[in-house]
């Protein structure tokens, strides 16, 4: 019986380590992977906008979240930065993952996110009371899966080191964004960033 997309999706949830090993064995060229990331980002932006339209909630930077194109650009840019930083931080901590490994992992996880968004929209329409609980459960499961994928991509054999990579990546990106936004914000209102 052939092993397909649904089997890999199920294995990603129930045996993320094995699924990560399978994904990293995919023989896909880097250009195709970047195009797949672009497609997954566009699909996620459409579903997020649909979900936000059906269940509006106040969000920071709401202009970005209300516009699917801006959201896709912001999310896509964030993913590209994340892939590079995950690779660099992991290598700095002794991992052996290459950019292509992390790219494969993140591309697959973005398609899993598309499925998760579909589930959230469906549950929000049919059983709105459960929407928040399901979203929280998906968030926790996604974090667990991501740890396994980072662990396998960098060949750590340690979820603790994978968590450290994720933590350092998050802190580094947050610091960089804060610095950029403070420089841009200062320039917009005419304040020197050196003040």
Is residue 177 pLDDT above 90, yes or no? Answer: no
Is 51:121 a contact under the CB 8 Å cutoff?
A: yes
Is 74:64 a contact under the CB 8 Å cutoff?
A: yes
The encoded tokens of residue 115 equal 């499925």
Question: 135: which residues sit within 8 A by CB, 6+ positions away?
Answer: 120
pTM: 0.85
Domain residue extents for the chain: 5-189
d(CA 67, CA 45): 9
Please write the tens of the pLDDT for every residue from 41-63.
Answer: 999 988 888 777 766 666 555 56
Please write the tens of the pLDDT for every residue from 100-129.
Answer: 999 999 999 999 999 998 888 888 778 877
pLDDT of residue 64: 60
pLDDT of residue 188: 47
d(CA 59, CA 65): 8
3-state secondary structure of 184: helix
Average pLDDT of the residues of the chain: 86
> Higher confidence at residue 134 or residue 105?
105
């Amino acid at each position: 019986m052939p092993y397909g997309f649904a089997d890999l999706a199920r294995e990603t949830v129930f045996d993320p380590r094995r699924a990560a090993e399978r994904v990293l064995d995919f023989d896909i060229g880097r250009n195709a992977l970047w195009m797949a990331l672009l497609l997954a980002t566009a699909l996620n932006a459409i579903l997020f906008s649909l979900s936000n339209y059906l269940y509006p909630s106040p969000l920071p930077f709401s202009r970005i979240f209300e516009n699917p194109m801006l959201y896709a650009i912001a999310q896509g840019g964030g993913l590209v930065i994340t892939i590079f930083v995950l690779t660099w931080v992991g290598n700095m901590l002794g991992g052996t993952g290459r950019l292509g490994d992390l790219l494969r992992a993140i591309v697959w996880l973005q398609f899993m996110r598309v499925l998760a968004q579909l589930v959230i929209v469906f549950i929000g329409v049919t059983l709105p009371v459960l929407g928040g609980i399901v979203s929280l459960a998906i968030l926790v499961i996604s974090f667990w899966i991501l740890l396994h994928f980072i662990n396998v991509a960098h060949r750590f054999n340690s979820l603790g080191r994978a968590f450290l990579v994720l933590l350092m990546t998050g802190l580094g990106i947050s610091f960089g964004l804060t610095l950029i936004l403070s420089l841009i914000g200062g320039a917009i209102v005419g304040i020197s960033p050196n003040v």
